A and B are shown apart, each in its own frame.
Chain A
Amino acid sequence: MAAGAGALAAAPGEVAQGVQELAEVVSARPVGAYTHLVLRAPEAARRARPGQFVACGTGDSGMLLRRSLSLHAADPEAGTLEVVVAAAGPGTRLLAAKRPGDTVSTTAPLGRPFPLPAPGTPAVVIGGGYGAAPLPWLAGQLVATGSRVVGIVGAASADRLLGTSAVDEATALDGVADAVVITTDDGSLGAPGRVTDALPEVLHELAELGEPVVYACGPMPMLRAVHTTTREALGDGASTWLAVEESMACGVGVCMTCVLPVAAVDDDGVTRTRMLRACTAGPVFDGDALRWDAIGAAEHLRGGALVPDDAVGAPKATGGH
């Protein structure tokens, strides 16, 4: 599906093998509105790559399901994973309140990582709010293979930003990426507006070096806008790799709750849409493969995705659904 997918150095078909570890919290510190945690999970740290996530248990809280968090970094030598937690509800509040010496039950690394392009491919990495978490790690790998990398991080207001030294040095893209653009909806830091307001100019600049690849992580409306804006700016000319955040009961591919409608070319050359698991086929998807016409289409469902009528096995107008 992806324009330029053939140029990928890392096989996007590779599936992560997760491992369960009881991780000790090595450090916990506030980063802007969020909490940065370092977790000792040596085996996961050895296997993890940017774009993958960790499913964290909430102990004996009574909450049944794990909470998924993007990996901010993994250090195989230190045997640690790093995450940035936004306290959104009871589960993430509990995780954000962890202190050194506490433990967190982890399953990681899960999902498919961001595919890396051919060495030297110019790249833009885009994060909305805590969605910037995986970007410095990804940017570091891209820069190491000779890419020029521009970061764009945005949020509703300055206090929700991540990935800029204006908030925190250690988790920032500054010093990793070649340039960093900041946007806030209310103009409290950086350029007033959305990340996608800054995107066309960055794309045109990078396109002079070669066909850029776009990476983004953040809420679904932002991912949609990144995809649309990229297509408007460069036509079919750049691939977009978008890390989605779907509600997940298991994170390991056994429950089928986290699906999205995704189009792919089958062996017979025909493109078909299937409801794919975001936890195993994603969380990183090719922006061209996502069926935007069906994603977020039912407003009252707050996010959700419909089953396109042409999807494999879609319900018929009459029948047993």
Chain B
Amino acid sequence: MSTAIMDLPNTSVDLSTSIGSLHLPAPTMTASGCAAAGAELAPYLDLSELGAVVTKSVMRQARSGRATPRMAETPSGMLNSIGLQGPGVESFAAHDLPVLEAAGARVVASIAGGDPEEFGELAARLARESAVGALEVNISCPNVANRGLVFACDPGASRAVLEAVSEAVRASGRPDLPVLAKLSPDVTDLVAVARACTDGGATGLTAINTTLGMVVDPVTLRPQLAGVTGGTSGPAIRPIAVRCVWQLTAAKRAGVLPDVPVVGAGGVASGADALQLIAVGACAVQVGTATFADPSAPVRVARELGAELARRGATRLADVVGIAHEPGRGLR
């Protein structure tokens, strides 16, 4: 286990949180696509100590993903263009979920589809799996019916996807299964898309997915990624994530959005980073790209967060969620 983890004292801060019916003993999760099926991280952290494992977005069928190169490192970040490589939902349910369940992990299953029907089918299929504690709906994937424009950029399409998912969840016999809509920052009006998602039945929001970027190979003067453009992640996008969670929380406080839990993601590599997202309103955070350099990061960040809170005299994580919106409410 990493020395970074061992060195941190256990704090008495209550870090538990919940996303609807899913209770989490710790507020950090992996981020979809940054922990594969989850089991890959088992040599480096205790999967049951994580708030939850968010699995790679799964589709109906197996997908090869894109050609390579799929990655380009950028200042304080990276681009990826994976193309949703995965084994398909049946293989995921048969092989990946049981491993996570046996490890005692709470599972947020991320789903992706080419049309609302595929999303609905995946939701119905995975709601049948008791190991799945929540669904995260990756609407940042191409809409087949609309020339591949991502659902998340269109409130109407986003709403249609969430309607199909929540319909399937209601019909599944597990109507309480939390449904997180994962938002893209690449929109003009984030709150409008978020509202479309909650109108469609989302019971929580995850913000943010990657933001679209591009790198030109300095030698060939061609796009460096085989997929031409890629999603930017890592500390480079943290200010965008903080801004997005702030906007969503402000809209909730103004009554423009219903009071649903917001999960923060984007550039979190330390407890102090996580605390920024929590202060603007996230009740839990996902750790994505930081896992590539430090596979123990999702657990380390929770421990560091506990230490950050203890240092400020806080005893409960819940007491600091959204504190940045209340100038009068303070900690040391």
Contact = CB atoms under 8 A, between A and B. Distances in A.
Contact of A247 (B3, B68, B294): B68
B23 to A, nearest CB: 26
Contact of B70 (A64, A66, A252, A256): A256
B36 A254 contact: yes
A303 interface: yes
A18 B141 CA distance: 33
Interface of A: 17-22, 57, 62-66, 105, 107, 246-247, 249-250, 252-260, 274-275, 280, 298, 300-307, 311-315, 319-321
B43 to A, nearest CB: 5
Contact of B64 (A57, A65, A66, A315): A315
A307 B36 CA distance: 20
A280 B39 CA distance: 13
Given A18-B43, A20-B2, A20-B295, A64 B234 contact: yes
Nearest to A321: B83
B63 interface: yes
B226 A64 contact: no
Given A300-B222, A320-B114, A65 B295 contact: no
B62 A312 contact: yes
A259 B63 CA distance: 13
- Could you tell me the dominant secondary structure of chain B's interface residues? loop
Q: Is the interface of A mostly helix, strand, loop or mixed?
A: loop
B85 interface: yes
B78 A307 contact: no
B73 A298 contact: no
Interface in B1-56: 1-3, 33-36, 40-41, 43-44, 56
Interface stretch (B93-101, B185-193, B285-293): B285-293
10 contacts: A18-B44, A64-B292, A254-B35, A255-B71, A301-B222, A303-B69, A304-B67, A311-B64, A313-B62, A321-B83
Contacts of A17: 43
Contacts, number: 147
Given A249-B78, A252-B40, A254-B291, A314 B64 contact: yes
Given A18-B43, A254-B35, A257-B69, 16 more contacts: A20-B295, A64-B289, A247-B69, A247-B71, A250-B291, A254-B34, A255-B82, A256-B70, A257-B71, A307-B64, A307-B67, A315-B64, A319-B114, A320-B114, A320-B141, A321-B142
B7 to A, nearest CB: 10
A300 B142 CA distance: 26
Contact of B226 (A250, A252, A301): A301
A321 B64 CA distance: 10
B293 A57 contact: yes
A320 B71 contact: no
B148 A307 contact: no
Contacts of B35: 254
A302 B295 contact: no
Interface of B: 1-3, 33-36, 40-41, 43-44, 56, 61-71, 73, 75-78, 80, 82-83, 85-86, 88, 114, 141-144, 148, 217, 219-220, 222, 226, 234-235, 289, 291-296
Contacts of A247: 68-69, 71
Contacts of B77: 64
A256 B82 contact: yes
A298 B67 contact: yes
B232 to A, nearest CB: 12
A298 B70 CA distance: 14
Given A20-B296, A66-B292, A253 B65 contact: no
Which of A260, A307, A314 gathers the greatest number of chain B CB atoms within 10 Å?
Answer: A307
Contact of B43 (A19, A57, A319): A19
B73 A259 contact: no
Contacts of B222: 300-301
Given A254-B34, A300-B222, A313-B88, A64 B66 contact: no
A260 B67 CA distance: 9
A195 B261 CA distance: 61
A66 B69 contact: no
Contacts of A315: 64, 83
A254 B71 contact: no
B69 A304 contact: yes
Nearest to B34: A254
Nearest to A20: B2
Contact of B65 (A107, A246, A275): A275
Contact of B292 (A22, A255, A280): A255
A66 B295 CA distance: 11
7 interchain residue pairs of minimum CB distance:
A320-B114, A313-B62, A257-B71, A250-B292, A313-B63, A20-B2, A313-B64
B67 A301 contact: yes
Contact of A257 (B70, B114, B219): B70
A298 B226 CA distance: 9
A313 B61 contact: yes
B3 A302 contact: no
B104 to A, nearest CB: 19
A66 B68 CA distance: 19
Nearest to B115: A320
A107 B3 CA distance: 12
B92 to A, nearest CB: 13
A275 B67 CA distance: 9
B50 to A, nearest CB: 13
Of the candidates B70, B82, B289, the one having the most CB atoms from chain A within 10 angstroms of its own CB is: B70
Nearest to B43: A17
A274 B83 CA distance: 14
